[in-house]
Amino acid sequence: MGFFDKLKEQASSLGSQLDQALDSTKQKGQVNALRKQRAELVAALGEALVEQFRQQQVDVESLRPQVDQIFNLEWQIIELEKQIEAQKAAAQAAAPAPPPPGGQPAAAPPPAPAPPPVPEAAAQPAAAPVACPSCGGEVPGGSAFCPNCGTKV
């Protein structure tokens, strides 16, 4: 492979890495914006609850829409964070190993040690989503509470 071919390949690789970094930065910005929005909703919910408590008329159902919005934002944050982690893992797997100093080929690394045995409970696949007994919404498998209404599952 000629010098210009190598240069072209490296430029292409750097462009791809830059695109991935920009996507990751954009997603992190979205997560931060969602967290800020969630904090604002939690503060508003707290104010509404304090006002109802002050009037001695706490009405949980009137607060439900705000709680639902908070749970929805939390779900979006979790999904974006999963995407960011998946992109990081893919980028690390695709990244070529840097050449050793001095241009000499590196010796083959020793084989990786065998992973420890996985306990029975951890070896099972993730539980399938279930329906909430209270609101009927989808609850991710293994969750203790419904993300829509907060009911213990």
Q: In angstroms, rounded to a whole number, what is the distance separating the alpha carbons of residues 68 and 41?
A: 10
Using the CB atoms, write b or e for 30-59: b if 16+ within 10 Å: ebeebeeebeebeeebeeebeeeeeeeeee
pLDDT of residue 124: 47
Q: Which domain holds residue 90?
A: 1-95
* pLDDT tens series, the chain, 153 aa: 688 888 888 877 777 777 878 888 888 899 999 999 999 999 999 999 999 989 999 898 999 999 999 999 999 999 999 998 998 888 788 766 666 666 555 555 566 666 556 555 444 455 788 888 888 888 887 777 888 877 887
How far is the C-alpha of 103 from the C-alpha of 106, rounded, in Å?
9
Torsional class of 59: left (φ above 0), alpha (ψ -120 to 50), beta (otherwise):
beta
114 is a domain residue: no
Residue 119 domain-assigned (yes or no): no
In sequence order, which residues have a C-beta less than 8 Å from that of residue 41 and are 6 or more positions away?
Answer: 66, 69, 70, 73
Please check whether residue 36 lies inside any domain of the structure.
Answer: yes
Does residue 134 form part of some domain? no
Spell out the alpha helix ranges (H) of the chain.
3-54, 60-94, 120-123
Q: Is the pTM of this model over 0.75?
A: no
5 lies in some domain: yes
For residue 107, being part of any structural domain is answered with: no
Q: What secondary structure letter does DSSP report for 103? A: G
Distance separating alpha carbons of residues 16 and 90, to the nearest angstrom: 12
In a domain, 14, yes or no: yes
Structure tokens at 34: 């969602």
Residue 85 belongs to a domain = yes
Encoded amino acid at 112, one letter: A
- How many domains does one find in the chain? 1
CA count, 13 A, side-chain hemisphere, 147: 18
Identity of the residue numbered 89: A
How confident is the model at residue 121, as a pLDDT? 44
